[in-house]
Amino acid sequence: MKSTKLKSGNYLEDFLIGQVIHHPTPRTITAGERALYTSLYPSRHALYSSDEFARNCGLKESPIQDLIVFHVIFGKTVPEISLNAVANLGYAQGRFYQPVYCGDTINAISEVIGLKENSNRKTGIVWVKTSGYNQNGKLILEYIRWVMVRKKHPDSLISENLIPKITPSVDPKSLHLAGDWNFSNYDFDQAGEPYRLHDYKPGEIIDHIDGITIEETEHILATRLWQNTARVHFDNTVRGDSKRLIYGGHLISMAKALSFNGLANAQSIVGINNGSHTNPCFAGDTIRAWSEVEYIYDFQKNGIGAIKLRTFITKGEIEKAFDDNQKYDRNLLLDFSYWALIPT
Amino acid sequence: MKSTKLKSGNYLEDFLIGQVIHHPTPRTITAGERALYTSLYPSRHALYSSDEFARNCGLKESPIQDLIVFHVIFGKTVPEISLNAVANLGYAQGRFYQPVYCGDTINAISEVIGLKENSNRKTGIVWVKTSGYNQNGKLILEYIRWVMVRKKHPDSLISENLIPKITPSVDPKSLHLAGDWNFSNYDFDQAGEPYRLHDYKPGEIIDHIDGITIEETEHILATRLWQNTARVHFDNTVRGDSKRLIYGGHLISMAKALSFNGLANAQSIVGINNGSHTNPCFAGDTIRAWSEVEYIYDFQKNGIGAIKLRTFITKGEIEKAFDDNQKYDRNLLLDFSYWALIPT
Amino acid sequence: MKSTKLKSGNYLEDFLIGQVIHHPTPRTITAGERALYTSLYPSRHALYSSDEFARNCGLKESPIQDLIVFHVIFGKTVPEISLNAVANLGYAQGRFYQPVYCGDTINAISEVIGLKENSNRKTGIVWVKTSGYNQNGKLILEYIRWVMVRKKHPDSLISENLIPKITPSVDPKSLHLAGDWNFSNYDFDQAGEPYRLHDYKPGEIIDHIDGITIEETEHILATRLWQNTARVHFDNTVRGDSKRLIYGGHLISMAKALSFNGLANAQSIVGINNGSHTNPCFAGDTIRAWSEVEYIYDFQKNGIGAIKLRTFITKGEIEKAFDDNQKYDRNLLLDFSYWALIPT
């Protein structure tokens, strides 16, 4: 007797503008996830390594790495949003609202804010605004992403076509600075580099030097840790080439960790402007990262600034983002723009 | 000067009916083991993911995953019971007595309850009842397992032949329900599925859909985490085919985690009826799982029921447990029957 | 616009006798690192497995594994000391001063105590004394190591040539015994073996039996966990043979964990006499370990003794450290001498 209980994920027809989805499986984050993160990524930013350093920056202890918060919330959305995705098209308007600490429990909610059927009538695009909350119901992260998903039937009609207005970049004035951050007594020796906000200039390009050869087990352990269930990461029979696609967020974490070399004081991600996974990444690839400074902003408060960075990962030539036709180079894997807090 | 201190494990002749073995290496379980478990298995049952969800079910916080408790206790028994095992033949009569929490310390004791020499006089079977205790001496898990072990010498006599009476299935009335469990306010939205005890019917078959390609490092990290020292899992020179056998318990954890899809509310394992590792599993295998509902039982208390499930793992065709001769299919890796708590 | 912020590590010319280097990135150690350690190494020493056992030995709880402390402090020194190293030549005069517990934060400082240019003028040797401190400024570990590093230019002069006097072995009278250690009520059953200090004789050789086939991902996860950034461990394009060199400390941890079999009561490393990584180790190698008892010492206090052990790891023939020319056998990977606490 075959069960009828299985969920096979949502198709384009299943989404409605304004629909609110409460994602299951709340998650309590602990010291275990923190340590695993350090084991998975070459993470050396002092704020996420030392309770003492974090206290000296006004926090109660070293917070959960901001990208753990992102990955866990993103992972929660996969079963309802992107299980039938053809491609993860982009992120935008990401803002972190407050630090998450060991013992906090994360929930995620998504609202459908855009829908568009593609002209082939077989697929379409869904835009969602996803919000993460802690156990006290406080907002901790909000971002928009859009994915191309399959339709169940080419002939079916979708409820409404609406392309939402996406801001290409987060206005630094809108970045949320929880009241307790304070870089007045920031210890540059412990952090590892002497550079402050105003030591960086827009247009400056920083090669993060180190290369990392990615192994199969690493990205599987990581992706599973975030309870991300997309089959293409775990089952090598899905794609047809016996390869498991590496979760794009794995590369974002690699990029942020590698950026220590040159950006040791760009501690916390507070905004996500946009991000593209420009080519697929597989085990065996040796990746390198570089960043371009896009903007600097001084909050004029507690010695805190924000630096806007565009970080790239390549498995080919460093600092080559585009080919001769000004398209993404075929070896480029990530183009990610974010805001990070940095002492002034 | 060669040391004489080494232990080479027990042989059939070393066991005596009624013998009690106190296994060494007590183990304190922490948030680290919890997080690693989530990294190793696609675990999404809310009770083991969120402190808040667990509190809403009457517990003080999210307990240690029940299969961590099983694996740690099982691992402790390996050096004394199964270091010279030829095969791990079965489990039965498993009962979990109470939740284990972060900071609890686990000890294990085994009693020899059966012995039988095989007709070839080179091997025999030993049955043990293993009990796990916490730091307060409270029983947390009890189960029977039997293994085929080598004899030291074909000519030696064993003390006694006794085949114990094994109950094929745990009576649900004998399942232990610690006083604090309460599913009256169970949050089905957070758990991920709306199905209650009575929504399941004996004979119902649930395909858990997702496939997982197993990597070498994953099962090694897991098996080591449980301090299981059986050489065949770690040393690829043992078998002669350069392969490392995957610890059977690794597949039980995979099965339970995969069962989220269709059995999201079958939270805690409270009884183990029987289990067979029907064929060996190796790195590179892509596994899938399905479950058959065997029985449902209502405790008539605090909204708690128990569901008896028979879960299979195959590296071949889903839902094919047996071949044309009614023997286990050569691709079937696990046949495991257990009781889980589920809201009524 | 190319950034000039990158650090490319120190060369021989950059070191000065007496120079004190404060290494960045303080690190708070938690239950997460403890659990990962158990997952990475077949660790079964009871003192590091059970809070209850540790309390029974006079400690407040089970301390952080002593080799985690070593690896984290060692890892901190890599960017300033050995990023341009040709070879890690040796350790000596290591002393652990007190246990580290979950929540403690580790800092590291190195003092340059020796310099010598090699006759080829392309490389030289730098000796450093590295000290690790906890968040209260208390010394937790001190050791000397020396590495061969590159010069920037063959023609440049170095400040001073000074070869420091290195004691070949730590005097047991100088070993630091934190006041709270007490083995008077030591539980030998829980520890797993009955042997006390005086059961061991200098010259006794203990084969630890178990073999371990090392996987790529394991050593990468470990080395990253210690925030060790040496490229040769992570980037398979560095060496020219597509191999990643396994961090030598990974083998020290393997050796200590394997030594459980025969040395279950040699719990804590309190001194490091010397250590050589005699040949490189790569993924795929199956390693085995043995130890030779070098000396025993009775503190005449709280039932505590110290055992001096020389532990070897080979990927070839067990107990074969030297070849016919009395040089290290080509399969020998580690020759490591240390002091461990053991009940009398």
pLDDT, one tens digit per residue, over A268-312 is: 999 999 999 999 999 999 999 999 999 999 999 999 999 999 999
Tokens 């002593």 correspond to C66
Q: Which chain C residues are closer than 8 Å to A210 by Cβ?
A: 229, 231, 234-235
Up-side HSE of residue A67: CA atoms within 13 Å toward CB? 24
CA distance C47 to B26: 9
CA distance B211 to A234: 7
Nearest-CA distance B39 → chain A (Å): 4
Contact B218 A217 (CB under 8 A): yes
Residue C61: count other Cβ atoms within 10 Å of its Cβ: 14
Nearest-CA distance B171 → chain C (Å): 34
Give the pLDDT of residue A65: 97
Say which of B189, B195, B211 has its CB closest to residue A5: B195
> For the residues B225-254, what does the mean pLDDT come to?
95
What is the secondary structure of A269-325 as a DSSP string?
EEEEEEEE--S---TT-EEEEEEEEEEEEEEEETTEEEEEEEEEEESSSTT--B-TT
E strand or H helix at A53, and its extent?
helix A51-55
Tokens 């407040």 correspond to C60
Q: Which chain C residues are closer than 8 Å to A30 by Cβ?
A: 31-32
SS3 track for C138-186: CEEEEEEEEEEEECCCCCCCCCCCECCCCCCCCCHHHCCCCCCCCCCCC
Residue of B340, B53, B59, B51 whose CA lies nearest to B190: B53
Nearest-CA distance B312 → chain C (Å): 27
Q: Which chain B residues are closer than 8 Å to C193 by Cβ?
A: 5, 7, 24
Q: Which chain B residues are closer than 8 Å to C191 by Cβ?
A: 24-25
Give the pLDDT of residue B209: 93
Question: Rounded to 5, what percent of chain A is helix, strand, coil?
Answer: 20, 35, 45
Of the ranges A250-254, B71-75, C7-11, C285-289, which one carries the lowest mean pLDDT score? C7-11
**Residues A56/A199, Cβ–Cβ less than 8 Å:** no
**Residues B67/C90, Cβ–Cβ less than 8 Å:** no
Question: Rounded to 5, what percent of chain C is helix, strand, coil?
Answer: 20, 30, 45
* Radius of gyration of the CA atoms of chain C, in A: 20
Question: Helix, strand, or coil here: A191?
Answer: helix
Instruction: Give me chain A's average pLDDT, please.
Output: 96
Instruction: Give me chain B's average pLDDT, please.
Output: 96
Alpha carbon of residue B87 to chain centroid: 16
Contact C24 A192 (CB under 8 A): yes
Residue C178 has pLDDT above 80, yes or no: no
Of the ranges A33-37, B158-162, B225-229, C34-38, which one carries the lowest mean pLDDT score? B158-162
Q: Provide the phi-psi class of C203: left if phi over 0, else alpha when psi is between -120 and 50, else beta.
A: left
Query: B6 pLDDT band (50/70/90 cuts)?
Result: confident
Percent of chain A clearing pLDDT 90 (strictly above): 92
Closest residue in C to B30 (Cα–Cα): C31
Tokens of A210: 């180190």
Give the pLDDT of residue A181: 93
Q: Which chain A residues are closer than 8 Å to B38 by Cβ?
A: 224-225, 227
Overall residue count recorded for chain C in this entry: 344
Percent of chain B clearing pLDDT 90 (strictly above): 92
pLDDT, one tens digit per residue, over C197-240 is: 999 999 999 999 999 999 999 999 999 999 999 999 999 999 99
Which residues face C27 on adjacent strands?
C106
**Cα(first)–Cα(last) distance of chain C, in Å?**
66
* Radius of gyration of the CA atoms of chain A, in A: 20
Tokens 């460093």 correspond to A318
Residue A222 has pLDDT above 90, yes or no: yes
Alpha carbon of residue C49 to chain centroid: 20
pLDDT, one tens digit per residue, over B240-294 is: 999 999 999 999 999 999 999 999 999 999 999 999 999 999 999 999 999 999 9
The helix-helix angle for C216-225 and C66-77 (nearest 10°) equals 80
Contact B217 C217 (CB under 8 A): yes
Q: Which chain C residues are closer than 8 Å to B133 by Cβ?
A: none
Closest residue in B to C209 (Cα–Cα): B6
Give me the helices (H) in B61-156, please. 66-77
> For the residues A162-186, what does the mean pLDDT come to?
93
CA distance C215 to B217: 6
Closest residue in B to A222 (Cα–Cα): B39
Give the pLDDT of residue B158: 87
Dihedral over Cα of C116, C118, C124, C129: its sign: negative
CA distance B294 to B274: 13
Contact B2 C264 (CB under 8 A): no
Q: Which chain C residues are closer than 8 Å to A53 by Cβ?
A: 26
Chain C residues touching chain A at CB-CB below 8 Å: 1-3, 5-8, 22, 24-28, 30-33, 35-36, 79, 102-103, 105, 107, 135, 215-217, 220-222, 224-225, 227, 229, 231, 234-238, 244
Give the pLDDT of residue C159: 80
**Residues A102/A29, Cβ–Cβ less than 8 Å:** yes
> For the residues C9-13, what does the mean pLDDT come to?
93
Closest residue in C to A288 (Cα–Cα): C235
Q: What's the burial of A141, exposed, middle or buried (CB within 10 Å: 0-12/13-18/19+)?
A: buried
Tokens of B119: 């007709």
Tokens of C106: 């580790």
Would you give the DSSP letter of residue B101?
-
Closest residue in C to A44 (Cα–Cα): C25
Closest residue in B to C36 (Cα–Cα): B32
Closest residue in A to B202 (Cα–Cα): A1
ipTM of the prediction = 0.96
CA distance B201 to B158: 47
> For the residues B293-297, what does the mean pLDDT come to?
98
pLDDT, one tens digit per residue, over C55-78 is: 999 999 999 999 999 999 999 999
Q: Which chain B residues are closer than 8 Å to A5 by Cβ?
A: 193, 195, 199, 206, 262
Say which of B39, B49, B201 has its CB closest to residue A27: B49
CA distance B68 to B74: 10
Tokens of B27: 């183990």
Mutate to test the interface with A, among B195, B209, B213 (most CBs of A within 10 A): B213
Contact B211 A234 (CB under 8 A): yes
CA distance C214 to C85: 24
Residue C282 has pLDDT above 80, yes or no: yes
Alpha carbon of residue B305 to chain centroid: 21
Give the pLDDT of residue A258: 97
- Show which subunits contact A, needing at least 3 CB pairs below 8 angstroms: B, C
Would you give the DSSP letter of residue C288?
E
Give the pLDDT of residue C180: 86
Would you give the DSSP letter of residue B168?
S
Tokens of A344: 């002034």
Contact B3 C53 (CB under 8 A): no
Instruction: Give me chain C's average pLDDT, please.
Output: 96
Query: C86 pLDDT band (50/70/90 cuts)?
Result: confident
**Cα(first)–Cα(last) distance of chain A, in Å?**
66
C258 to A231, B36, B223, B236, C265: CA distances (angstroms)? 37, 22, 15, 16, 13
Name the residue type at position B126: V
> For the residues C309-328, what does the mean pLDDT come to?
97
CA distance A281 to A33: 24
Q: Which chain B residues are closer than 8 Å to C44 by Cβ?
A: 24-25, 227, 229
Contact C62 B235 (CB under 8 A): no
Mutate to test the interface with C, among A215, A216, A286, A291 (most CBs of C within 10 A): A215
Dihedral over Cα of A93, A99, A102, A105: its sign: negative
Mutate to test the interface with A, among C38, C135, C217 (most CBs of A within 10 A): C217
> For the residues C263-289, what does the mean pLDDT come to?
97
CA distance C291 to C306: 15
Contact B28 C35 (CB under 8 A): no
Buried-state track C68-86, b at ≥16 Cβ within 10 A, e below 16: bbbbbbbbbbbbbbbbbbe
Query: C290 pLDDT band (50/70/90 cuts)?
Result: very high
Tokens of B8: 């080479």
Closest residue in B to A136 (Cα–Cα): B52
Percent of chain A clearing pLDDT 70 (strictly above): 100
Give the pLDDT of residue C50: 98
E strand or H helix at A253, and its extent?
helix A248-258
CA C230-C236-C238 angle, to 5 degrees, is 60
Q: Provide the phi-psi class of B104: left if phi over 0, else alpha when psi is between -120 and 50, else beta.
A: beta
Give the pLDDT of residue C272: 98
CA distance B343 to B323: 36
